[in-house]
Structure 1
Amino acid sequence: MNATDEAGRMPQTAASLLRASTLPALEARILLTHALGWRRTELITRGDEPLAEAACAQYRALEARRAAGEPIAQIVGAREFFGLEFEVTPHVLIPRPETELLVETALAALEGITAPRALDLGTGTGAIAVAIASARPDARVWALDRSAEALAVATRNAAKLLDAKRPGGALQLLQSDWYTALDPALAFDAIVSNPPYIRHGDPHLTEGDLRFEPRGALTDEADGLSAIRIIVAGAGERLVSRGQLWIEHGYDQAADVCALLAAQGFENVHSRADLAAIERISGGVWKHGGTNGE
């Protein structure tokens, strides 16, 4: 016979909470494991184990936050990206799977280069920069953001996910409005960025997870290309000869971004599609040489 509580009710279990949830099954499982401090496999192996009411109440509170629209990543404070788990707060953009294409492309650009240098503009959580540094321990990577709150998150993620003794040294984090605070003597083998590119007035800004993310990381409050123009215009002075620039952009911006790159003098300009067949990033090769200083 199953035990009952003092009021004569059957105790809740992980299985019963999941059955009763109105959330999508995957979201409910993520929130429940977070509330209970369990691994996902324990939802199976311990699924019929009676739970304390405090644990059930904690899960229901998380469930209510998600039902109100708050992003899963902000509720649990983490999101996996490129095989690494990053801290996420309301001060940073939530890393998304499609942005992994930017990391993969940057790593391809650095292939065959000994101790390469890479620059991530508008780093947010540090996901792009940390992923590159993790995959290429010999690389020296700089990560810039104008937000002090975002840099604090990126700093914690770098400390957690990167070995401070890696051959390339510690990740260089710098508060900067794009290139402004960067040492002008530096030049890079690859520059990457996931800048704010959503147009002002785009209805997506008032839908889904975007409602809870920092607006300044999403939109330039203009045509969606303002930040991209700055990045493209300043990249040549920061790239070594044959260095590459790659930028993430909106689903309908590939032609515009490619035109900006070509007009600035980049060669082999083209776009790459993500797994959803959306042209997600555009870039090119710098045919001239940067300062390439120390």
Structure 2
Amino acid sequence: MSKGPPPLPSPLTRAEALRRLTQAFSAAGLANPRGDARFLAEHALGLSASELILQGQAPLGEAGARALEEAAAKRLAGEPVARIIGAWEFWGLPFRLSPETLVPRPDTETLVEASLRLFPEPARPLRLVDLGTGSGCILVALLHERSHAFGIGLDSSRDALATARENATANGIGTRAAFLRGCWLDALSGPFDLIVSNPPYIGTGVIPTLDAEVRGHDPMAALDGGPDGLDAYRAIFSEIARRPRLLAPGGALAVEIGYDQAETVTALGRKAGFSDITLAHDLAGHPRVVTLRPSLSIRE
């Protein structure tokens, strides 16, 4: 990465500043220089995407120049765009971020899609819980699509819960969501029609090999899944096996997995008594979500 941002004197037009910033990001080897520059310019200048285009010949101005140079310096130092902005989009909805929340990834939309397929009737009343809710993006997306559903977001971080609660309110589903502090299913009694989770699933030894933007800025508790990356799945599956009434009759569990974990997570599910198990693939064709329903015997 380069040592610092390009000079952006205030007489520059917004369009010229955007061009210079894109060139600097490209020279620094950033993967998406044009997109990064555009997002940061919109944020720093307080403009929408259309305003940045339509008002591109307006002068940058002193305040705009300072704000954009500051944002550019952070990006060139390795801070992800979403962290600089403090917000990101998921499922077409805006989500505020905080230090204890992951940046929502497009792959996680596969979990929302798979969960909605499990309960395709839009007007069906549902009780659902999102384990390790983080920013609340999964829970909010599901409640946004199912207007008769009520959901609980559970997380061990007070910071994450406050952020999730704010996002639920901002996206208009706050009255149908509650947020609790706890570890996986310990604080819950159920029954739930749907239990969802994007748990930490990266093996402890793999974390040092992750991209610096991930290991340096995402919360470690949301990444580290234990020695083999499977600790959270074991905890969730075993608790449902121990307390089968956590799931309502016809209820289901849906979990996001790493690209190479389909076989092992599926095997753990079968061992815990789940018999109806399916996989959903992300846009790259990788297995990304496992959905599970228990056999009759697990409920007896």
Q: C-alpha deviations, 1:80-136, integer Å up to 9, x for none? A: 101110001221011111101111111121224731111110000000011111111
1:240 pairs, out of 244, 248, 252, with 248
1:124 pairs, out of 121, 128, 134, with 134
The aligned length equals 277
Give the AA of the match of 1:225: L
TM-score (norm 2): 0.87
**8 Å Cα contact 1:102-1:246 kept in structure 2:** yes
**Secondary structure of the residue that 1:245 maps to in structure 2?**
strand
- Which residue of the partner structure matches residue 19 of structure 2? 19
Relative to its length, the structure with more helix (as a share) is 2
1:215 and 1:163 map into 2 onto residues whose CA distance is 29
**Secondary structure of the residue that 1:191 maps to in structure 2?**
strand
**Secondary structure of the residue that 2:216 maps to in structure 1?**
helix
The ranges of structure 1 where at least 4 consecutive aligned residues each deviate by more than 4 angstroms after the TM superposition are none
1:95 and 1:74 map into 2 onto residues whose CA distance is 11
Task: Spell out the pairing of 1:77-88 with structure 2 (5 A cutoff).
Answer: 77-88=86-97
- Which residue of the partner structure matches residue 196 of structure 2? 192
Give the AA of the match of 1:145: D
TM-score (norm 1): 0.89
**Secondary structure of the residue that 1:201 maps to in structure 2?**
helix
**Secondary structure of the residue that 1:212 maps to in structure 2?**
coil
- Which residue of the partner structure matches residue 279 of structure 1? 287
1:290 and 1:106 map into 2 onto residues whose CA distance is 21
- Cα distance 1:40–1:273, how it changes in 2: closer, same or farther (>3 A)? same
Greater shift, 24-33 or 267-276, is seen at 267-276
2:111 and 2:263 map into 1 onto residues whose CA distance is 17
1:215 and 2:220 are equivalent in the alignment: yes
Give the AA of the match of 1:211: G
1:190 and 1:44 map into 2 onto residues whose CA distance is 43
Shift of the alpha carbon at 1:10?
A: 8.1
1:95 pairs, out of 72, 94, 104, with 104
Q: C-alpha deviations, 1:114-171, integer Å up to 9, x for none? A: 311111100000000111111111011111001111001001111111245xxxx520
- Which residue of the partner structure matches residue 157 of structure 1? 167
- Which residue of the partner structure matches residue 180 of structure 2? 174
Q: C-alpha deviations, 1:50-77, integer Å up to 9, x for none? A: 1212211110110110111111111111
- Cα distance 1:35–1:10, how it changes in 2: closer, same or farther (>3 A)? closer
Structure 1 stretches of 5 or more lacking a match? 1-8
Give me the CA root mean square deviation.
1.8
**Secondary structure of the residue that 2:130 maps to in structure 1?**
strand
- Cα distance 1:289–1:103, how it changes in 2: closer, same or farther (>3 A)? farther
Shift of the alpha carbon at 1:290?
A: 8.5
